[in-house]
Structure 1
Amino acid sequence: MLDAALAATETDDGVTLSLRIENPGPDPVTLDFRTGQRAEFTAYPADGNETGSEGERPDPVWRYGAGRMFTQALGSETLDPGEAVAYEGAWRSPPSGTFRVVGEVAATDCDTRAATNVDVA
């Protein structure tokens, strides 16, 4: 089991995101990736609920990987016990408002994610 924390910092041209993943366990954990993308960041309207009435998430306002090209090469990263890694992303020119941003590791067979609210002026 990996621990995750998401930090968001408002900048002059948008929001900088950092998804920190840490291995708190006693054994190494290998993350296997299908592409060069290491994390996905998704912004939703912040209505206090990440899921809709049917348990589904509302439509995202923004998705980091949408319209981006990533290398089409398999890759892996191993986190030793106590080791951490951070994956960065940037949301350029977001609209004003409050959003719930979710950061997820893009590795196969890994459901590690973290979320935070972001206020954009």
Structure 2
Amino acid sequence: MALEGRLEAEVASNGEADAVRFEFAVTNAGTDPVELRFSDACKAEFAVEDEGREVWRYTDGRMFAQMISSERIAPDETATYEAEWEEPRSGEYTAVAELRAQEGSCEARTELSVP
């Protein structure tokens, strides 16, 4: 299984940062289709770190439907997962996204600056 991840972070603001929007793109870089199985409705985890210390996690305080589901990604196809960090504090951060599939893993990181 050859999954490649890319994480983008966009700071949305009207003078001050109101939110950071994350987009985690997972691409099947292999030659065979990949079948991903998930144990709940949350298919990707997002976290924000400040010098290695976690300051925000997407799943904290949230509940997700407990349901088995699957998603098939064909060769060269991309699946996209999104999250939003509301009311972030100013600073320099590292964002991390990780696929929550039962088998197969994919992670991506990006740096971001919140004014």
Equivalent positions of 1:44-63 (< 5 A) are 44-45=49-50, 47=51, 58-63=52-57
1:16 to 21, 24, 31: 21
Match of 1:105 among 99, 109, 114: 99
SS of residue paired to 1:107: coil
Q: Distance between the aligned counterparts of 2:104 and 2:46, measured in 1?
A: 15
Amino acid at match of 2:11: E
Over residues 29-86 of structure 1, what are the superposed CA-to-partner deviations in whole Å (9 max), with x where a residue is unaligned?
Answer: 01110100011001111x3xxxxxxxxxx44100001111111101110101111111
Give the CA deviation at 1:108.
1.2
Partners of 1:27 and 1:111 in 2: CA distance:
16
Output the CA distance in 2 between the equivalents of 1:80 and 1:111.
Answer: 16
- How far, CA to CA, are the matches of 2:69 and 2:105 in structure 1? 17
Consecutive unaligned residues in structure 1, runs of 5 or more? 48-57
Q: Segments of 4+ in structure 1 off by > 2 A?
A: none
C-alpha separation between the residues in 2 aligned to 1:97 and 1:7? 17
How far is 1:106 from its partner?
1.0
Structure 2 gap segments, 5+ residues each: none
Normalised by the size of structure 2, how large is the TM-score? Answer: 0.92
The total of aligned residue pairs comes to 110
Q: Which has the higher strand share?
A: 2
TM-score (norm 1): 0.87
What is the CA–CA distance in structure 2 between the aligned matches of 1:85 and 1:69, rounded to whole Å? 22
Identity, in percent, stands at 36
Residue 54 of structure 1 is matched in structure 2 by: none
- Superposition map of 1:22-41 within 5 A: 22-41=27-46
1:76 aligns with 2:70: yes
SS of structure 2 residue aligned to 1:7: strand
